[in-house]
Chain A
């Protein structure tokens, strides 16, 4: 059993002049230094797996070059990291290509690398100013849809698992439960799944981070899929609190159009 994730990890920390906000989330490690009126980001990606978040005056190693710079003149004096689901949809394959028989349903657990939003906050935490979004694990680009229209997505190298205990458990990834219901008269060939992660929030569980559950219903071959993004936290673990909201909340009008928002198709 993994150790619980401390909620303290996501707490705001004062960032004094000359100080550096140092975080490590799996392969991603970064320092945000405050120098005069600038915030300077140092970034590297190595194989470290632990997660830390602290403020100190230690400089980043000399081999980690300064990257982006942000102007900053206050008045927000604190800095924090927030885990968010990626800004693009995620395409994942089931561990085995399978057909969902008519009238049946199946559940998958998708482990999605998180994006870390670095933001400045005031004494009142609602005064927040996002600085940058950093993906924890670099994923390759993929295209979902035909070559004349479709969507640019991130491709997951790991597969969607049927059993929760076989899911890749990392503290810098969120688990998204996906249920596929086939209400059509024919079996549904399931080869790739596209999860629109911009509609998912992030929750802190006892040992893992979670995303809202998604249920997709297939009614007929030519009909679009009906998608439901759960509004509440997933139920597979005790949830302590919601860490971030979805980037784009699902609107009523979206639901109608969003039937194609979560799609599956037989790969050609």
Chain B
């Protein structure tokens, strides 16, 4: 076969073309153009097979292992065929490895952290994780880093060592999630009625699960009102829809039942529980008016002033 290929090398320097060299060229070409694409195809096929049966994460790892491992092996074979002596090369690589190891401790740390992440499997591709202020969907888990897509479609690369060293949250690990809502009502409200209204809101919301049952916990006597924890469960896929709908429904239900949602109040205290706070008018002939008892005249005055102002404006 080699003899038949001689005409191909007809234009090449005759001294260079020897049977051994032609054989080497053929072997190298075979490795690069036949075996290498076959390795890549095998990696793709194995990846697809594993993704169907196992996880996308494992599929990605196997695919990369076959691709990189196979490529390096073929590169070594090609170099060997081309006459490179690999023993000194590997020796040099070992020494270089130690030198690089010292120089690239961070990289090494990421690498080892990546190995831990891969074996520990705290999250998988497609999970939504929160690391510090960053929340997004995991695109890939590599040895050095984890790639995340934020919900505003930005890309974030998180070094593996950061994920090993600090706390992170996997938002989608479990199939259902609890939404905690802090609800506050005025002190005058009936606690049992508030509970009933909140329970009814949970019953009516289509995203809210019946079981685990909604939690309504009377937390404390707050600065401005009675504080409750209203905790409801939903499928993780319905979580956003639940949050959007139930917040509005609580407000609507409280409005309908005339339950007051308080905002921070400040009561001025004059030193006696029943005495009104005295005020003195700077101008005018009226006696001091206690606040909260005779606010109507003041309001009327304000209205009158407003009307006069409006009339003046109309005249102007």
Interface residue ranges, A against B (CB under 8 Å): 91, 138, 140-144, 147-150, 152, 155, 192, 267
Contact = CB atoms under 8 A, between A and B. Distances in A.
Contacts of B203: 140
B206 interface: yes
A149 B175 contact: yes
Contact of B174 (A138, A141, A147, A192): A147
B212 A147 contact: yes
A152 B236 CA distance: 11
B210 A140 contact: yes
Given A91-B211, A152-B235, A155-B211, A143 B176 contact: yes
B211 A148 contact: no
Contacts of B208: 140-141
Contacts of B209: 140-143
In which size bucket is the chain B interface?
10 to 19
Contacts of B230: none
Interface in B204-253: 206-212, 233, 235
Contacts of A140: 203, 206, 208-210
Question: Of residues B206, B208, B211, which shows the largest number of chain A Cβ atoms within 10 Å of its Cβ?
Answer: B211
10 contacts: A140-B210, A141-B206, A142-B211, A143-B176, A143-B211, A147-B174, A147-B233, A149-B174, A149-B175, A267-B211
A143 B212 CA distance: 7
B105 to A, nearest CB: 38
A166 B157 CA distance: 62
A258 to B, nearest CB: 20
A267 B207 CA distance: 21
Contacts of B210: 91, 140-142, 155
Contacts of B174: 147-149
Nearest to B203: A140
A91 to B, nearest CB: 7
Contacts of A144: 211
A141 B209 CA distance: 5
B170 to A, nearest CB: 12
Question: Of residues B175, B203, B207, B210, which shows the largest number of chain A Cβ atoms within 10 Å of its Cβ?
Answer: B210
A192 B210 CA distance: 12
A118 B98 CA distance: 71
A37 to B, nearest CB: 33
A147 B206 contact: no
A267 B203 CA distance: 19
Question: Of residues A141, A149, A150, which shows the largest number of chain B Cβ atoms within 10 Å of its Cβ?
Answer: A141
B175 A150 contact: yes
Contacts of B211: 91, 142-144, 155, 192, 267
Interface string B138-182: 000000000000000000000000000000000000111000000
Given A140-B203, A143-B233, 12 more contacts: A140-B206, A140-B210, A141-B208, A141-B210, A142-B211, A143-B176, A144-B211, A147-B176, A148-B175, A149-B174, A149-B175, A150-B175
A251 B242 CA distance: 37
Contacts of B235: 141, 152
A161 B218 CA distance: 36
Question: Of residues B206, B208, B209, which shows the largest number of chain A Cβ atoms within 10 Å of its Cβ?
Answer: B209
A140 B212 CA distance: 13
A225 to B, nearest CB: 19
B19 to A, nearest CB: 61
Question: Of residues A147, A148, A155, which shows the largest number of chain B Cβ atoms within 10 Å of its Cβ?
Answer: A147
Contacts of A142: 209-211
A158 B214 CA distance: 20
B126 to A, nearest CB: 18
Contacts of A148: 174-175
A150 B210 CA distance: 14
A90 B188 CA distance: 42
A141 B212 CA distance: 10
A152 B177 CA distance: 13
Contacts of A192: 211
B244 to A, nearest CB: 17
Nearest to A154: B210
Nearest to A151: B175
A152 B212 CA distance: 11
